[in-house]
Structure 1
Amino acid sequence: MKLRSIALVASLLVTGFCQAEEVLRVSAIPDESPTELQRKFSPLGKYLEAELGIKVQFVPVTDYAAVVEALAGKRIDLAWLGGFTFVQANKRGKVTPLVQREEDAHFTSKFITANSSINSLNDLRGKAFAFAFGSASSTSGHLMPRYFIESKGIDPDKDFKGLPAYSGTHDATVAWVASGKVDAGALNASVWDKLVEQKKVDPSKVRVFYTTPPFFDYNWTIRADLDASVAARLKAAFLKLDAKNPAHKEVLDLQRASRFIPTSAENYKAIEASAKKVDLIK
């Protein structure tokens, strides 16, 4: 009887493990429109399924905080996070940054305007211009733009017309500036470049008037208790992506990555310090 009981327990444990790992649940901060996020993820999801041999499911969320909560609550296994969202997730529970795009080691934000009287950050001081950030939890759409504005002695909560607005996404910030809803805004440099390439914004009408110094930004993060073998295969799959391989090129192009490289929590210490400096975290 004891042998049968041991065998039954072992069988249940194996079954439970297989069920737990038969679907890799993936999400991303909603820094762009839902349709764009799904378009970007689809080829990557298929690639990861083939490499890992398990189903990969994209789990959309409504806002940045929802991704942090989903990781903390173990409702997702892997998430595309900004630097600030990673810092927030790391404070909520054990997470491990897995890989980043090579470009994320020297990321920047763009300040844009369609107003001819705005040509520098100094032009924003005390002129009562309406200004838009992206999401309040965005690294490149809020935290770092706010940090660099304040380092110039400009207080976004006093020097702009009313309080700064929050568009929610980078592409929405561009739309707000282009329509005249706000006089200026800040967004992710990669999204700006993409919108220009796709001719979704006219740079002769909406122009960049300031680019921030570089900082670390996005990464793919896993919950720290994800099965070690799955985590290792997942990391290897990202590092294997090669732009010279036609089958990989679409994945990398949609991720706006030349390649993926390993990353660590240490890379985001400066982001955490910046967030503390501007009172976004304690």
Structure 2
Amino acid sequence: MSFVRLLTGLALLLLAPSVMATTFTFTAIPDEDESQLRTRFDKVAVYLEEKLGVEVKYVPVKSYSAAVTAFRNNQVQLAWFGGLSGVQARRLVPGSEAIAQGYEDQFFKSYFIAHSSAEIIPSDSFPNLNGYTFTYGSKNSTSGRLMPQFFIERNLGKNSKDIFKRIGYSGDHSRTIAQVQAGVYQVGAVNYKVWETALSNGKVDLNKVSVIWETPAYPDYQWTIRGDIDGKFGAGFSEKVTAALIGMKDPELLESFPRQSFVPADNRDYEAIEDVAKAIGLID
């Protein structure tokens, strides 16, 4: 063996541990109870490791803004964002792409829920919410804040702060349900998937809280990946991640989201969300 080939072989051996040690990290907006998120996304990490052939780690965060910050700072390379947080993240990281969304995320919706004491009759027409107390979810939630605020202000013709007696931000959809059910707020807006899951799990008392109105459909959650990912993990890695997400077929894993499948997504799918966020002043 030549001296040059020997040196080349030694160099490859030295490089191998660092390549092997490269970890692909991802996060998700904390839209539900933390223990539920950990169970779901730790399983996603195992699935992605098998499909991608690299170490994969789920990095939990405490807020929607923290998920966006982690993505911006390259602490994570992939994120399960809501519509608004995805728009925010992609504006901060040029070249990043929405690559997959749940089948249901193409036509997502929010439920407006009310405590029984509010005596609001469910209707297809937008309810008169003047003078009630109201809670959104996170301030940066698409289904818990952005779209509900848009529909409230469009239908009632004035700013939310001029409509409600008191406005709160619960932080996530599970807490919104709990707070309205407990009567802390008379009315709230919630992700319809979280509501339906809570209802099927027996966590909703329909004698205390019920759905009074549902929004028209809009695009929401999506997986977004950084544009520089191939530079770290090799050419074609982004396509491998996309294929793995769209190819997720495990019924138990899909049900944990809950989604029936994942389908391709594109940044253009969320232009309407960006337009609404600009219209109500959440982004410039």
TM-score normalised over the length of structure 2: 0.89
**CA positional deviation for 1:80:** 0.5
Q: Deviations over 1:222-253 (max 9, x none)?
A: 111112432221111122223xxxxx111111
* CA distance 1:10–1:84, shift in 2 (3 Å): farther
1:18: which partner in 2?
19
Q: Distance in 1 between matches of 2:88 and 2:43?
A: 28
Contact 2:40/2:257 (8 A) holds in 1: yes
Contact 2:71/2:77 (8 A) holds in 1: yes
Report the more deviating stretch, 190-199 or 148-157: 148-157
Match of 2:169 among 153, 166, 169: 166
1:226: which partner in 2?
229
- In the alignment, is residue 235 of structure 1 matched against residue 246 of structure 2? no
- Is there any run of 5+ residues in structure 2 with no aligned partner, and where? none
Q: Distance in 2 between matches of 1:12 and 1:139?
A: 48
Counterpart code for 1:110:
Y
Counterpart code for 1:49:
E
1:35: which partner in 2?
35
Q: Distance in 1 between matches of 2:247 and 2:75?
A: 27
**CA positional deviation for 1:8:** 9.2
1:117: which partner in 2?
119
**CA positional deviation for 1:256:** 0.8
Contact 1:97/1:220 (8 A) holds in 2: yes
Report the more deviating stretch, 7-16 or 172-181: 7-16
Counterpart code for 1:112:
I
Counterpart code for 2:228:
D
**CA positional deviation for 1:43:** 2.2
Q: Deviations over 1:148-193 (max 9, x none)?
A: 111111421111013x100000000001001110000001010001
Q: Secondary structure at the match of 1:32?
A: coil
Contact 1:134/1:166 (8 A) holds in 2: yes
**CA positional deviation for 1:134:** 0.3
1:245: which partner in 2?
none
* CA distance 1:155–1:226, shift in 2 (3 Å): same
Q: Deviations over 1:240-279 (max 9, x none)?
A: 223xxxxx11111112111111100000000000011111
Alpha-carbon RMSD: 2.3
1:155: which partner in 2?
159
Match of 1:276 among 261, 274, 278: 278
* CA distance 1:9–1:65, shift in 2 (3 Å): farther
Report the more deviating stretch, 231-240 or 67-76: 231-240
Identical columns (%): 38
**CA positional deviation for 1:59:** 0.5
Match of 1:146 among 149, 160, 164: 149
Q: Secondary structure at the match of 2:62?
A: coil
Q: Secondary structure at the match of 1:268?
A: helix
Q: Secondary structure at the match of 1:160?
A: coil
Q: Distance in 2 between matches of 1:70 and 1:88?
A: 12
Q: Distance in 2 between matches of 1:111 and 1:59?
A: 31
Contact 1:43/1:250 (8 A) holds in 2: no
Contact 1:117/1:123 (8 A) holds in 2: no
- In the alignment, is residue 75 of structure 1 matched against residue 81 of structure 2? no
Q: Secondary structure at the match of 2:146?
A: helix
**CA positional deviation for 1:74:** 0.7
Match of 1:267 among 260, 266, 269: 269
Q: How many residues align?
A: 272
2:189: which partner in 1?
186
Q: Deviations over 1:84-109 (max 9, x none)?
A: 00110011112211100110000000
* CA distance 1:210–1:233, shift in 2 (3 Å): same
TM-score normalised over the length of structure 1: 0.90
Counterpart code for 1:231:
S
- Is there any run of 5+ residues in structure 1 with no aligned partner, and where? 243-247
Contact 1:78/1:220 (8 A) holds in 2: yes
Counterpart code for 2:100:
V
- In the alignment, is residue 98 of structure 1 matched against residue 99 of structure 2? yes
Counterpart code for 2:204:
V
**CA positional deviation for 1:118:** 2.0
